[in-house]
A and B are shown apart, each in its own frame.
Chain A
Amino acid sequence: MIELKDLSKTYISASGNVEALRDINLTINDGEIFGIIGLSGAGKSTLVRCINLLERPTAGQVIIDGKDLTAMNRPELLQMRRSISMIFQGFNLLEQRSVLRNVTFPLEVAGVKKAAARAKAQELLKVVGLEDKAAAYPAQLSGGQKQRVAIARALATDPRYLLCDEATSALDPTTTQSILALLKEINRTMGVTIVVITHEMRVIDQICDRVAVIDRSRIAEIGAVSQVFTNPQSAIARELILPGTASAQEFTPGGQRLRLAFNGDTTRAPVVASLIMECQVPLNIVSADIREIDDKVYGQMLIELPNDSAQTDRALAWLNERGIAYSKEV
């Protein structure tokens, strides 16, 4: 279990202090895939680096398996890091080492015998589907293959936790899918707890069980992915789930704007068509998106009603009557 308690991080510089994280309280349970989502600069990369103390928090505690990392001396911390692996957006492979020797690297550091390290590395390359690339060098691999090597390397020391810092952000959509599938498989078969940092909602709804939404150095919202997705509480979560709210405002100077949320049951019903026909309200669809979380289909739609209070009331009454979740947008 990873517990972050009252975590804050402030960067002090001559040009002024920058508060990267503020009062972060978070518990990540064993065996789950936990997502941390936010826009660039929200503080999520700093947050993940505070978990293994690559960044030392200015205040607060990082407690992993009951042990307070902030109170450890350096040898203890280095030892602890072997059970908390990390993969990165830029893969960060050793360019002058072969694929196999990249995977044996953490084992060499841990003092494992050469033959045993090689055997373990071969086995892990099989897990990530790159057993035929053992002798290749990183420069000869594609982005997806590099990330697979990085994953194999991260698993070499049998970690309990795997931190993924924007691990798929440099990959194309198809490769992203395969890497996410691999991470999910590792979580299920090896029981590794995974923390995923991303700015893409797609990554979250694809593999995460729970998600924390981080905005301007603070946690804005936290909960099960399906819950946050169907009923986002914070403005930032809404923006991340269905972007374009801000920009759409410019070209449609109409009336009341509604965000409709469809859960598993209502997703397939022709809600918008019925609303238009039954209420005689001509409306605009600003944006819409549908996705699958845990085999259930969820959708979100941003619609705009005409600038007419009678029509607006009629539409709202209709939605209330049908029990369709919506929220008013400004």
Chain B
Amino acid sequence: MFTDMFVKLWDNHLFLWGIWQTVYMTVISTVFAYVLGLPLGIVLSVTDKDGIRPMRAVNRVLGIIINAFRSVPFIILMVALLPVAKLIVGTSIGNKAVIVTLVVGAAPFVARMVESSIKEVDKGVIEAAEAMGTPSFKIITKVLIPEAKPSLITGAVISMVTILGYSAMAATLGGTGLGQVAIVYGHQRFNQDVIWFAALLCILIVQVIQEVGMRIVHKSDKRITN
């Protein structure tokens, strides 16, 4: 029923290894994408014309840069960023290089997710904080981020799923994970069952991320009373 390759991969726990590699890369990349994207998203929303510190020039320039990165298909961006990866982690192949490209590729997406979450915060609450004499930085740390928290977590779940999808392309750069299993052992050696099983595992991982994420959101959102 299964191909020899499938059995071999199964016996050597290569699917488990793939899952681990994919999850590991996705998590690390998401964390770093937020290290870059969260401040960028906050700057975008704060400097917007309806933000707490409107700065037209900053907002426009940042917006254009972020849009530029988001316009390039990830597979091309990844190849284009190889020299950058070499500069940062010293190599342009393998997981380290892949993580660099994932972070740079996902950060602009994360910035837009964060921006839209922050913009959802009720204007009245911000006005109340301003009326109390709250400085802008404290409005960000004590009002915008805490009030947007459930929405930010929802955004993080979506970002993580997107990054997981990107990470499957890592195989092209010699990265490991379920993408590599599917492409190298499945596609290139004509083992359909390996491809389908790798895809199924990706689906399961996404389901788990989504389910756990939404539980965290539900628990953390104080607007939900039950």
Contacts and interface: CB of A to CB of B under 8 A. Distances in A.
Q: Do A and B bind? A: yes
B224 interface: yes
Given A82-B133, A109-B138, A88 B124 contact: yes
Contact of B223 (A84, A85, A95, A163): A95
Interface in A25-67: 52, 54
Contacts of B225: 137, 139-140
A73 interface: no
A82 to B, nearest CB: 5
A40 B27 CA distance: 52
A78 B127 CA distance: 13
A140 B129 CA distance: 21
A93 B125 contact: yes
B96 interface: no
Contacts of A157: 132
Contact of B127 (A82, A92, A106): A92
B122 interface: yes
A82 B132 contact: yes
Nearest to B123: A92
A77 B223 CA distance: 33
Contacts of A77: 133
A109 B133 CA distance: 8
Given A105-B142, A109-B138, A139-B223, A54 B130 contact: yes
A86 interface: yes
20 contacts: A80-B133, A81-B130, A81-B133, A85-B131, A86-B128, A86-B132, A88-B127, A92-B127, A93-B128, A94-B146, A96-B146, A96-B150, A96-B223, A97-B146, A97-B222, A108-B142, A137-B222, A138-B222, A139-B222, A139-B224
Interface of B: 122, 124-125, 127-135, 138, 142-143, 146-147, 149-150, 221-225
Interface of A: 52, 54, 77-82, 84-86, 88, 90, 92-98, 105-106, 108-110, 137-140, 150, 157, 163
Given A93-B128, A139-B223, 10 more contacts: A77-B133, A85-B131, A90-B124, A96-B221, A98-B222, A105-B129, A106-B132, A109-B129, A109-B142, A139-B225
